[in-house]
A and B are shown apart, each in its own frame.
Chain A
């Protein structure tokens, strides 16, 4: 297998990756961007340039605004490979990939600098019945709306906490969908500590007003918005038939065949973990994040993270951080001086700081309730291997101190999702049981390939074609 050489390789075509590519192209770097999806935009701007919806404005202006960024990215001169999975990255910045669709095959790229812009995933929220068909993430349902023009049918229940809960309810109201109820699990006790950050949140442009606008639409609708929901369970034989919940200790039930849940989002750390980058537990965002310097460089030289993969800050910050990372890489690779970098970076950093000012308020107000972080014993934690919270607690009593030990004992985290759905929960249960800090409990050892690869993909390795242009010179044999 021959090696493809580029100045900058970016993984992920969300706001961070696209803006990083645009900025790096302006500086004159060759840029190759790999993305697992078929269209640029990431999760937030999914399908924005080719929306299947007759009226994409239903999703709101923050969504449709993404089309301009996609257009700039596609015109930037960066080489863009959609449908491409980067399944192994080495510390010396060699990337193994498998490409689907056009020029399907596998190959390796040697990058002078590498930016991981693979974003976030919804926080897995274990509760009784969450593995039943008919329970999905709110983000998942929003993906169906953005990319497949599919809307939840009647009697949908939305449950959870955080801005996306309200945004999606607002989008459903505008789309004419029937919502049976919003079960708001935001703990009452979060309000007072969040007030401390309200003043600084006002520095962030537009966020609070936007949020109040969403809530006003929800209150003006006929949807019951039930606050301070303390517990949640999906019930049914083989699929969801009803949702049980409690408020102030009193149980209630709603008949529904679709329960959509959300408790915020967490960085996708599979690649940074597989590289052995340093990570720290963020007790405010309740997630692991790679240690980054002010430009997004990880503990591995030349390997950077831009956007929500480095900590949850939202689409605007992702876009700004992608550009900042590109400026640093341009300077490091000798495309311009540090003076040029700093001059260009100054206004971006100012904007970045003002957008980030909303986070402490949101993170505190929408901090998930303890019951979703460390569920009751019978609740399944590892969906793949069907290991329960009680199993984890039992292993803790036997002396397991970290997720790699419980994995060896029970296969917890060893299924196809490679711990993406249980890693944080297992850690939090062990930390509570042993009265140990999360930093000490740690996380799964993630090894490549970060997603399954078929032998035939490896057999279809790229070979060089001497007659083609440099970046297009590699095609499957």
Chain B
């Protein structure tokens, strides 16, 4: 998928930057972003595939209600990307289908 972001950064106040890994690719984003905001800002619009039909999905409500932005964060599946702030070194992966029971 091309990295053409649906959202672009507006003039922002100075902020610290953090390095994160998204599906093994490194990105640097401001520390005030949630994981969902970070994904959208770097142009990743599809975060997961549904367990039912493998349909592509992306963040919808950005406030913790819709559960469309579920991703794997630091090895923990089904985390709400919109409710989680980025942390230095965070590893984020798309959720493809249902989580496995390890």
Which of B7, B52, B56 sits near A151, CB closer than 8 Å? Answer: B7
A149 touches B61 (CB 8 A): no
Cα–Cα distance between A405 and B14 once the two chains are bound (Å): 53
A36 touches B13 (CB 8 A): no
Cα–Cα distance between A238 and B62 once the two chains are bound (Å): 20
Point out which of A257, A383, A451 has the most chain B C-beta atoms below 10 A from its C-beta: A383
> Which residues of the other chain, B, contact A149 by a CB distance below 8 angstroms?
9-13, 30
Who on chain A is nearest to B44 by CB?
A133
Which of B34, B53, B66, B76 sits near A148, CB closer than 8 Å? Answer: B34
- Give B1-60 interface residues, CB cut-off 8 Å to A: 4-13, 15, 30, 32-34, 37, 40-41, 45-47, 50, 52-53, 55-60
> Which residues of the other chain, B, contact A239 by a CB distance below 8 angstroms?
45-46, 56, 58
> Which residues of the other chain, A, contact B40 by a CB distance below 8 angstroms?
144, 150
B37 touches A51 (CB 8 A): no
A140 touches B59 (CB 8 A): yes
B7 touches A43 (CB 8 A): no
CB of A415 within 8 Å of the partner chain: yes
> Which residues of the other chain, B, contact A238 by a CB distance below 8 angstroms?
46, 56
A150 touches B9 (CB 8 A): yes
A152 touches B46 (CB 8 A): no
* B10 shortest CB reach to chain A, Å: 5
* A235 shortest CB reach to chain B, Å: 14
CB of B96 within 8 Å of the partner chain: no
CB of A122 within 8 Å of the partner chain: yes
A384 touches B37 (CB 8 A): no
B56 touches A121 (CB 8 A): no
> Which residues of the other chain, B, contact A37 by a CB distance below 8 angstroms?
83
A147 touches B83 (CB 8 A): no
A137 touches B62 (CB 8 A): yes
Q: Is the interface of B mostly helix, strand, loop or mixed?
A: loop
As a 0/1 sequence over residues 51 to 86 of chain B, the CB contacts with chain A under 8 angstroms (1 = contact) are 011011111111111111010000010100011010
Total number of A residues with any Cβ neighbor in B under 8 Å:
53
As a 0/1 sequence over residues 155 to 199 of chain A, the CB contacts with chain B under 8 angstroms (1 = contact) are 000000000000000000001000000000000000000000000
B61 touches A137 (CB 8 A): yes
Who on chain A is nearest to B64 by CB?
A36
* A393 shortest CB reach to chain B, Å: 19
CB of A416 within 8 Å of the partner chain: yes
Cα–Cα distance between A399 and B29 once the two chains are bound (Å): 52
A415 touches B67 (CB 8 A): yes
Which of A50, A140, A150 sits near B61, CB closer than 8 Å? Answer: A140
Cα–Cα distance between A151 and B5 once the two chains are bound (Å): 10
Point out which of B8, B40, B57, B63 has the most chain A C-beta atoms below 10 A from its C-beta: B63
A139 touches B63 (CB 8 A): yes
- Give A422-477 interface residues, CB cut-off 8 Å to B: 451-452, 454
> Which residues of the other chain, A, contact B12 by a CB distance below 8 angstroms?
52-54, 149
Cα–Cα distance between A386 and B54 once the two chains are bound (Å): 11
Task: Report if A121-B41 is in contact (Cβ < 8 Å); known contacts: A151-B8, A383-B68.
Answer: no
A150 touches B52 (CB 8 A): no
Which of A51, A140, A258, A416 sits near B13, CB closer than 8 Å? Answer: A51
Cα–Cα distance between A384 and B78 once the two chains are bound (Å): 13
- Give A280-298 interface residues, CB cut-off 8 Å to B: none
Which of B34, B52, B60, B64 sits near A147, CB closer than 8 Å? Answer: B34
A53 touches B10 (CB 8 A): yes
B62 touches A136 (CB 8 A): yes
Cα–Cα distance between A406 and B50 once the two chains are bound (Å): 21
Task: Report if A386-B53 is in contact (Cβ < 8 Å); known contacts: A147-B34, A149-B10.
Answer: yes
Who on chain A is nearest to B80 by CB?
A451
CB of A385 within 8 Å of the partner chain: yes
Cα–Cα distance between A268 and B61 once the two chains are bound (Å): 13
Cα–Cα distance between A135 and B66 once the two chains are bound (Å): 13
CB of A315 within 8 Å of the partner chain: no
- Give A248-274 interface residues, CB cut-off 8 Å to B: 257-258, 268
> Which residues of the other chain, A, contact B30 by a CB distance below 8 angstroms?
52, 148-149
CB of A88 within 8 Å of the partner chain: no
CB of A396 within 8 Å of the partner chain: no
Cα–Cα distance between A43 and B61 once the two chains are bound (Å): 11
A140 touches B56 (CB 8 A): no
CB of A328 within 8 Å of the partner chain: no
> Which residues of the other chain, B, contact A451 by a CB distance below 8 angstroms?
64
Residues in chain B within 8 A of chain A (CB atoms): 4-13, 15, 30, 32-34, 37, 40-41, 45-47, 50, 52-53, 55-68, 70, 76, 78, 82-83, 85
7 A-B contacts (beta carbon < 8 Å): A36-B83, A52-B12, A144-B37, A147-B37, A149-B9, A150-B37, A151-B9
